[in-house]
A and B are shown apart, each in its own frame.
Chain A
Amino acid sequence: MKKDDQKLLKALLDGELPDESGRFGIFGGQYAPETLMPALKKLEKNIKIFLNDKAFQEELMSELNSWAGRPTALTYASQLSKKWGVEVFLKREDMTHTGAHKINNALGQAMLAKKLGVKRIVAETGAGQHGVACAAACARVGLPCTIYMGAIDIERQAPNVDRMKQLGTEVISVLSGDQTLRAAIDEAFRDWVSDPENTHYILGSVVGPHPFPYLVREMQSIIGKEARRQMLEIDQRLPDAVFACVGGGSNAIGLFHAFLGDLEVELFGIEAGGTSNDLGENAATLASGKPGILHGTYSMLLHDDDGLIQETHSVSAGLDYPGVGPEHAFLQSINRVQYTSAKDDEALELLREVCENEGILPAIESSHAFVEAKKWANENTGKRVLIGLSGRGDKDMPTLSKLMNK
């Protein structure tokens, strides 16, 4: 890393970023409609209070442990290790309650919302994992919840839709825009704008206007803190490389953060490479996007020469998003994290390999991280890798069944 980049990294680790204006370097900010500004400022103020409040932190930790199933296991993947010629460790967010890392953020924000005294929760969901996590967390804290979900996603993630309804949540099908995650976020914002004082919007990823990228990262950083401690407990050795999939990027930020200061640890974020490198056939924002503004934040973005946001494609609904968290754009710009992509078929192939060798069914999203880890292992025999297994693949069974019966 260059000296200037190291300085910026230090500022991030010292808590100086995001700065007063909600920026990580040039990325981030608060590009929100005026109606939301008072609510965002209020949220900013309350985050400062509650994230530093010992009683709230203890209450949250107790719920994370006794209700959400933390700490999650660190699994040594013995078969993959043998096959790949490296030591493979998996951080098992798939073992949390509701089956993915999303619960860390949903529970934390729902408890925060309860403290703020709001009357209802809105949220968006892509794969349905964040929706299910919100539905469960809202039931737990006693707040009514409305989830916006794109019509296309409702079809490809059907089991999760019924789970949300079972948990007492209202699921609204979004027929506008591209009918996936991006349109669902648009719609959740529209709902929030109509009653910002009494509603809290639980954004599901490290995107959106400040303070969301910061808030969600704080809620997810427990993943990396646990994983780093668990690795050291084994033999006082850190991994040589860490891999996580990136859509909006919340599980990756959560896993990376504890390792950012360990410069000897290489960090890899893997985006959805879809079917090809052409615009519209993938969701590889950091690899092929340009800076722009969407959903309240300045970050890397897939958009055309007229500034219109592009349709994306990925076999995994959770990575199917044309933007990415501003902190990822920042980490890329200072060369601390390398971002690559994995194609649909590569991810599905690794999903099968993990199933057959380790008896674990990863989400299609998480399978993207395994693709890059395997490639890296090929050239780094004897090293140690840590892979973020962000969620379980049960929700992908409709997609997987279709492929199996082809």
Chain B
Amino acid sequence: MIGGKYIEEKIRAPKEPGPAIVPFITAGYPNTKDFKQTLYEISKKADVIEIGVPFSDPMADGVTIQRSSHMAIENGVTLTWIFNQLNEINLDTPIVLMSYLNPLYVFGMEELVDASLESGVDGFIVPDLPIEESKELNQRLTEAGLALIQLVTPATPKDRIEMISDQSRGFIYAVTVKGVTGGEGALSADVTEYLKQVQEISKIPVCAGFGIREKSDVEMIADYVDGIIVGSAIVETIEQGNSPTEFLDRLKN
């Protein structure tokens, strides 16, 4: 099984009790040589792995992902490099690429589908591609069984959540805060109301992300989502030379 169905299945039946865990790492950061090893390691705990394709202008990202993205570019990481690395390994965990649109556009839509099928990429998250602009990419990915995972935010009106949920595959990415990734502040109390609403509307799993850093965050929203996405906090853990699997362990236990 591949693509949207595969992602959905893994999120519905996580490796450990509680919400599914979807860690995000920037490809080739802090260095390129440990990338495959890091993937192997986090795949022990992760139900889906989200890999960040570095971009020069990460508009929706906070300082941590900006820094990792910039360094990864310095390290020579490109979309082609990422596909080549993934070709060399075999994980039992679905892979999703998080990329701004321009690197994907330049790579070519047809080539993107081919390379994804060959290297075992199951889906994409594109933060600067709202549903108004996603028709072409969505169609191509869907035809190949791959997933375009769409985002909703606390600013998204109800009728728009419905439209987005109809078009999303794999899961719906529910952004928990207004703002960029890696927010420092605690999740606001009304976030549970918002997640409840998304959950009610959506026919596919809902994963929450942005600003989730520790166990208390997970506990607060666990009952309202199928999975949680953790990005900046795990990138910081890897950056400090600490074990990402231990970090993921602490989110649930």
Contact = CB atoms under 8 A, between A and B. Distances in A.
B130 A293 contact: no
Interface string B50-88: 000001111110110010001001000011100000000
Nearest to A39: B155
Contact of B155 (A186, A196, A309): A196
Contacts of A39: 155
A280 interface: no
Contact of B105 (A32, A33, A195, A307): A307
Interface residues of B, number: 41
B101 A38 contact: no
A34 B105 contact: no
B127 A292 contact: no
A30 B7 CA distance: 28
A214 B157 CA distance: 25
B133 interface: yes
Contact of A34 (B55, B78, B153): B153
B27 to A, nearest CB: 12
Interface residues of A, number: 34
Interface in A7-21: 21
Contact of B133 (A30, A35, A176, A301): A30
A306 B78 contact: yes
Contact of B106 (A33, A37, A176, A307): A307
Interface in B106-130: 106-107, 127-130
A224 interface: no
A114 interface: no
Contact of A31 (B128, B151, B153, B175): B128
Given A34-B156, A306-B106, A295 B59 contact: yes
Interface in A30-55: 30-35, 37-39
A32 B104 CA distance: 16
B105 A294 contact: no
Contact of A177 (B57, B130, B132, B133): B57
A190 B59 contact: yes
B155 A292 contact: no
A308 B55 contact: yes
Interface string A297-323: 000010101111100000000000000
A30 B130 contact: yes
B74 to A, nearest CB: 11
> A195, A294, A301, A305 — which one has the most chain B CB atoms within 10 A of its CB?
A294
B95 interface: no
A159 interface: no
Interface string A171-187: 00000110000100010
A292 B128 CA distance: 13
B56 A33 contact: no
Given A21-B132, A193-B179, A309-B56, A303 B102 contact: yes
Nearest to B157: A38
B178 A189 contact: no
Interface in A328-380: none
A309 B178 contact: no
B251 interface: no
B133 A309 contact: no
A307 B60 contact: no
A38 B164 CA distance: 13
> A29, A34, A190 — which one has the most chain B CB atoms within 10 A of its CB?
A34
Interface string B125-160: 001111011000000000000000011110111001
Contact of B103 (A31, A34, A301, A306): A306
A177 B61 CA distance: 12
21 contacts: A31-B128, A31-B130, A34-B151, A34-B175, A35-B60, A35-B178, A35-B179, A39-B155, A177-B66, A186-B57, A190-B62, A193-B60, A193-B178, A193-B180, A292-B102, A292-B105, A293-B128, A303-B102, A306-B103, A306-B106, A308-B73
3 pairs of A and B residues whose beta carbons are closest in the complex: A307-B106, A307-B103, A194-B179
Interface of A: 21, 29-35, 37-39, 176-177, 182, 186, 189-190, 193-197, 292-296, 301, 303, 305-309
Given A182-B57, A293-B128, 20 more contacts: A31-B129, A31-B130, A32-B128, A33-B128, A33-B151, A34-B156, A35-B175, A35-B178, A38-B156, A177-B57, A190-B59, A194-B178, A294-B57, A294-B102, A301-B102, A306-B79, A307-B106, A308-B56, A308-B103, A309-B102
